């Protein structure tokens, strides 16, 4: 297994999506390949095409052959690329958050993540537009997931441990690690909570410890820490929706948890 070594700082940022690179050549290749759609070396096993033969070889090795030669010595997690291992060690184990947002208190382990945060949260840019509907996204990956999930209805990444299926290999990987392996690699510095995804940890810190309520209802004065809680509030309070119906007595509820509590309290006595 390969070990982590120090690398160059990623100082060259893409003005279109926020991705960061160690030199101008990598940035130029990224722009040609990702944004200008130049694809010289198609993968024989899927629809992906890469600009360099080395990138194609790495893609086949990591994605199709599932080879992960770079192991974290601290937690045992394996990675297909050494750069991903290095980032994992710095952000998960060393808790590095050297890149601070100048518009809010958020901090990030990578400059590319900071740039994407600024583009999506503060600039509210949605440069990746869906050709099938009016939706637009900050990240190309989110657009691709949307197209596969909503328009193509593809769930070709199937879990071998349960019946779940996903649009992207990354989603399947996270599902296996979190649901079946019980991985909780992202630990809170303020309490004993731990999460399977870094995004879950970030939301936890903002809502529980920083008491932030960034998701405001535009129909009343309430605000929520989670966007999902805001959606539930709008459905239940303003739209008066009761989508969860009791099969025993016909009572209807706005949330599945309320239905379960009703059945347990009223019918399971």
When pLDDT is cut at 50, 70 and 90, the band that residue 180 belongs to is very high
Residue 6 has pLDDT above 80, yes or no: no
Of 9-13, 72-76, 239-243, the least confident: 9-13
Of 107, 121, 92, whose CA–CA distance to 185 is shortest? Answer: 92
Question: Domain 215-267 - what CATH class?
Answer: alpha beta
The residue that leads in pLDDT, 134 or 41, is: 134
Sequence spans of domains, the chain: 1-124, 126-167, 215-267
Residues 181-195 have a mean pLDDT of 89
Please provide the CATH number assigned to the domain covering 1-124: 3.30.160.60
Give pLDDT, residue 84. 84
CB 8 within 8 A of CB 22: yes
d(CA 151, CA 141) in angstroms, rounded, equals 15
When pLDDT is cut at 50, 70 and 90, the band that residue 114 belongs to is confident
- What's the alpha-carbon Rg for the chain, to the nearest Å? 22
Other residues' Cβ atoms within 10 Å of the Cβ of residue 151:
12
Give pLDDT, residue 39. 62
Nearby residues of 221 by Cβ (< 8 Å), 6 or more positions away: none
Of 36-45, 55-64, 147-156, the least confident: 36-45
The two domains 1-124 and 215-267 share their CATH topology (first three levels equal): yes
The residue that leads in pLDDT, 40 or 129, is: 129
- In 107-183, beta strands by DSSP E: 107-108, 128-129, 136-137, 157-158, 165-166
Give pLDDT, residue 1. 45
Output the average pLDDT for the chain. 82
Residue 202: what are its φ and ψ, rounded to 5°? -60, -45
Helix spans in the chain (H): 24-30, 53-59, 82-88, 111-117, 140-146, 169-175, 198-204, 227-233, 256-262
Of 43-57, 146-160, 176-190, the least confident: 43-57
Residue 8 has pLDDT above 60, yes or no: no
The residue that leads in pLDDT, 14 or 252, is: 252
Of all residues in the chain, the percent with pLDDT exceeding 90 is 4
Please provide the CATH number assigned to the domain covering 126-167: 3.30.160
Of 26-40, 120-134, 154-168, the least confident: 26-40
- In 180-232, beta strands by DSSP E: 186-187, 194-195, 215-216, 223-224
Residue 7 has pLDDT above 70, yes or no: no
């Amino acid at each position: 297994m390969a070990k982590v070594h120090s690398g160059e700082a990623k100082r060259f940022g893409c003005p279109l999506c926020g991705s960061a690179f160690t030199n101008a050549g990598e940035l130029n290749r990224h722009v040609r390949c990702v944004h200008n759609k130049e694809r010289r070396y198609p993968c024989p096993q899927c629809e992906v095409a890469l600009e360099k033969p080395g990138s194609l070889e790495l893609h086949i090795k990591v994605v199709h052959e599932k080879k992960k030669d770079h192991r974290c010595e601290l937690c045992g997690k394996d990675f297909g690329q050494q750069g991903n291992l290095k980032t994992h060690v710095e952000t998960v184990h060393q808790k590095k958050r050297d890149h601070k947002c100048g518009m809010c208190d958020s901090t990030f382990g990578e400059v590319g993540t900071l740039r994407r945060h600024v583009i999506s949260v503060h600039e509210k840019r949605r440069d990746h537009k869906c050709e099938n509907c009016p939706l637009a996204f900050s990240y190309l990956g989110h657009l691709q997931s949307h197209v596969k999930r909503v328009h193509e209805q593809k769930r070709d990444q199937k879990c071998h441990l349960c019946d779940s299926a996903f649009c992207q290999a990354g989603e399947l990987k996270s599902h296996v690690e979190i649901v079946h392996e019980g991985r909780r690699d992202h630990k809170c510095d303020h309490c004993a909570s731990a999460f399977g995804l870094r995004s879950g940890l970030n939301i936890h810190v903002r809502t529980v410890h920083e008491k932030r309520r960034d998701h405001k209802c535009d129909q009343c004065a309430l605000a929520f820490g989670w966007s999902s809680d805001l959606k539930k509030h709008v459905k239940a309070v303003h739209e008066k929706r009761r989508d969860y119906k009791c099969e025993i007595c016909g009572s209807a509820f706005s949330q599945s948890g309320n239905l379960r509590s009703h059945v347990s309290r009223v019918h399971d006595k």
